[in-house]
Amino acid sequence: MSTGDYDLLIRAGRLFCAATGLDGPGAVAVRGDRIMAAGPDVAGTARETIDFPEDLLLPGLVDLHSHPGPADWKYGIDADHNMLARGSTTVLSQGDAGAVTWPQYETEIIVPAQTRIRLAINLARLGESRPGPCFQRDDDVDVDACVAAIETGDEAIWGISVNLSTAGCVGLDPRDVLRAAITAAERTNRPLLYGLRRETTDWPHWPLADQLEQLRPGDVVTYCFHPGIEGGAGCIVRNGRVLPEVRAARERGILFDVGHGMASLDFDTAEAALADGFPPDTISTDVYQRHLGAVPQHDLPRTISKLIAAGMSETAAFEAATARPAAVLRLADEIGTLVPGACADIAVLRFNDTALPLADVGGATRPGGCWEPILTVRAGQLV
């Protein structure tokens, strides 16, 4: 039994922590910004004690693809208001800032935020600070500037974003852009967050196999459950089965992320992949400005609920939004876990079996209820 005087003690009907194997009733004790104890036998006195006898307590959720940024940028949202309050204590920006806009991003977005924000810096010099695709002209791509920014950004810059969907790349050969991104990644020993190029009518077909073969172990493919054209570039499923080249990529160490957004979570694709034994490594929202004010609100608990409704096991889905993305961010000892000594980032979720239907990007719905955020703790502080 763990006893002691704590700043905060939270009891819950269910604690879940993939990193420590917790899954059952218990409590988490916090002192300062650290977790002191977690488990079924935690007891003691605390300055504040909160009880959630019917609810689920997890490590703070980790969203591996989102868009914290200035409101006048293409996608930017306020992470503290729109993500932290909904359970996501750590978020990764998919390319909101590039080398030119990185100093502003660090000063205005990362430093003042209560949310822990990491950046996949955009290979495009201006990132997503302007309307339209970020890769349009030759001078948008600057490997040397990207490398220099990473060298000044230290741990705040996790890796490099290269979104080669038509929302990100028009006017340039996406194959050349990917080669440039890999050059920058190899020079800085950083992974890529890669947005798949999908089949289009205005560009020659670029097979999915060719795209995946360029990637390296540790690189992350996002938009993995995009509906695409079945079997065409951007869709990982053909005839209800996951493509061999996709499985081969995973075997080589390539990771697959959901990146829900406005176009990249299709129930048919997700259900086929899950039934074929291919769950995503990480679940993420790709939440950005167009989601603000939506009813129901787009957030990570609802996205997790959609994957569960599609056939992903509950424990695997929770892990894919906590311990797995924490490891991808190289922060496994600090976040995504309830292990004593880790940062006291905590999310409490409540299951609402009368919630609005779970819908994919095409409007198809699935029953099953929804997990909803009711409390967030960031570094020991109630949000």
Please state, in angstroms and rounded to a whole number, the distance separating the CA atoms of residues 69 and 24: 37
The whole-number pLDDT of residue 231 equals 43
Q: Show the tokens assigned to 293.
A: 């004010």
The whole-number pLDDT of residue 279 equals 98
* 4 pLDDT above the threshold of 80: no
* 1 pLDDT above the threshold of 60: no
Q: CB–CB of 60/188 below 8 Å?
A: no
**Which residues have C-beta within 8 Å of that of residue 164, sequence separation ≥ 6?**
135, 174, 177, 178, 194, 195, 196, 197, 211
Per-residue pLDDT averaged across 145-170, rounded? 93
* 30 pLDDT above the threshold of 80: yes
pLDDT more than 70, % of the chain: 96
- Position 268: which residue type? D
Please state, in angstroms and rounded to a whole number, the distance separating the CA atoms of residues 262 and 180: 27
Fold of 5-59+341-350+373-382: Urease, subunit C; domain 1 (2.30.40)
**Is 61-328 CATH 3.20.20.140?**
yes
- The pLDDT confidence band at residue 41, using thresholds 50, 70 and 90, is very high
- The pLDDT confidence band at residue 149, using thresholds 50, 70 and 90, is very high
Longest dimension (CA), the chain: 66
Please state, in angstroms and rounded to a whole number, the distance separating the CA atoms of residues 373 and 370: 10
Domain ranges of the chain: 5-59+341-350+373-382, 61-328
Q: What is the pLDDT of residues 245-255, one digit of tens each?
A: 999 999 999 99
The whole-number pLDDT of residue 110 equals 98
Contacts 24+ apart (CB under 8 A), 358-365: 358/302, 358/305, 358/306, 358/309, 360/265, 360/266, 360/267, 360/270, 360/306, 361/227, 361/260, 361/261, 361/262, 361/263, 361/264, 361/265, 361/266, 362/227, 362/266, 364/266, 364/267, 364/268
Per-residue pLDDT averaged across 22-36, rounded? 98
Q: What is the pLDDT of residues 45-89, one digit of tens each?
A: 999 999 999 999 999 999 999 999 999 999 999 999 999 999 999
The whole-number pLDDT of residue 230 equals 44
For the beta carbon of residue 352, count every other beta carbon within 10 angstroms: 15
DSSP 332-369: TTTSS---TTSB--EEEEEEETTSPPEE-TTS-EE-S-
* 203 pLDDT above the threshold of 80: no
The whole-number pLDDT of residue 204 equals 60
**Which residues have C-beta within 8 Å of that of residue 293, sequence separation ≥ 6?**
none
3-state secondary structure (DSSP) of residue 241:
strand
Q: CB–CB of 374/58 below 8 Å?
A: no
3-state secondary structure (DSSP) of residue 26:
strand
Q: What is the pLDDT of residues 222-279, one digit of tens each?
A: 999 998 654 445 689 998 999 999 999 999 999 999 999 999 999 999 999 999 999 9
Q: What is the pLDDT of residues 102-123, one digit of tens each?
A: 999 999 999 999 999 999 999 9
pLDDT more than 90, % of the chain: 89
- The pLDDT confidence band at residue 353, using thresholds 50, 70 and 90, is very high
The whole-number pLDDT of residue 367 equals 87
3-state secondary structure (DSSP) of residue 166:
coil
* Helices marked H in the chain: 79-82, 102-105, 143-153, 174-188, 208-214, 244-251, 267-275, 300-309, 314-319, 323-328
Cis upstream peptide for 207 (omega within 30°) = no
Q: What is the pLDDT of residues 282-334, one digit of tens each?
A: 999 999 999 999 999 999 999 999 999 999 999 999 999 999 999 999 999 99
Nearest to 60 by CA among 28, 24, 107, 103: 28
Q: What is the CA radius of gyration of the chain?
A: 20
C-alpha distance from residue 211 to each of 181, 194, 221, 241, 273 (Å) = 13, 10, 10, 19, 19
